[in-house]
């Protein structure tokens, strides 16, 4: 994980050789996970709208492009800056044609209340083929976040997922 201060008057500091932005109300680490955006995008119970936006090439692959829009208090969940707030989201999802795998998810969160710590948060998550053991899996391989702070500063966090491992556990419970 790499955090970078992009512009403005505040300063960043280093923790364990990693550039880190100030710990402001839950902004030390983006709260996202593998597939965190999939339910809000595709669950019919969510108020997200999807519309076709044509085709595009991404990483040498043909992709179907869909634009999405979700209102505030939709299924995407809270962002944290001074207090939790579930902002409106817009963006795009690029899907491999013809494989149907998600290649990239791009999200912009806006419409935060007055005095919220930031005014916009952008996220780009990229998926790819990852070999774990002898099997290939389609997983997120990178994520990039940019916070547009209310004081004009910009912060960026870049995450590269690597060194994937396969773990299994089994247990037997016996009642006597």
CB 138 within 8 A of CB 127: yes
User: For residues 130 and 128, what is the distance between their CA atoms, to the nearest angstrom?
Assistant: 6
Using a pLDDT cut of 90, give the percent of the chain over it: 48
The dihedral over CA atoms of 16, 19, 20, 22, expressed in degrees to the nearest 10, equals 110
Instruction: Going from the first residue of the chain to its last (176 residues), give the mean pLDDT of each consecutive group of 10, the final group possibly shorter.
Output: 48 42 48 71 94 95 96 92 92 94 95 93 93 88 91 89 79 88
Q: Over the stretch 60-84, which tens digit does the pLDDT of each residue have?
A: 999 999 999 999 999 998 998 888 9
CB 89 within 8 A of CB 98: no
For residue 27, the model assigns a pLDDT of: 53
Picking from 77, 93, 87, the residue whose alpha carbon sits closest to that of residue 147 is 87
User: For residues 117 and 39, what is the distance between their CA atoms, to the nearest angstrom?
Assistant: 27
Q: Over the stretch 82-107, which tens digit does the pLDDT of each residue have?
A: 889 999 999 999 999 999 999 999 99
């Amino acid at each position: 994980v790499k955090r970078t201060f992009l512009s403005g008057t505040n300063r960043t500091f280093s923790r364990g050789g990693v550039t880190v932005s100030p710990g402001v109300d839950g902004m030390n680490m983006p709260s996202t996970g593998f597939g965190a955006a999939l339910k809000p995008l595709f669950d019919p119970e969510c108020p997200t709208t999807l519309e076709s936006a044509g085709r595009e090439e991404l990483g040498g692959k043909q992709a179907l492009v869909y634009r999405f829009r979700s209102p505030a208090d939709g299924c995407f969940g809270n962002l944290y800056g001074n207090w939790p707030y579930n902002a409106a989201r817009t963006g795009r999802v690029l899907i491999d044609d013809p494989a149907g795998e998600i290649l990239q998810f791009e999200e912009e969160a806006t419409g935060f209340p007055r005095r919220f710590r930031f005014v916009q948060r952008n996220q780009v998550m990229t998926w790819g083929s990852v070999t774990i053991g002898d099997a290939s899996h389609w997983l997120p391989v990178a994520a990039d976040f940019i916070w547009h702070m209310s004081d004009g500063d910009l912060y960026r966090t870049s995450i590269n997922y690597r060194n994937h491992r396969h773990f299994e556990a089994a247990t037997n419970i016996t009642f006597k």
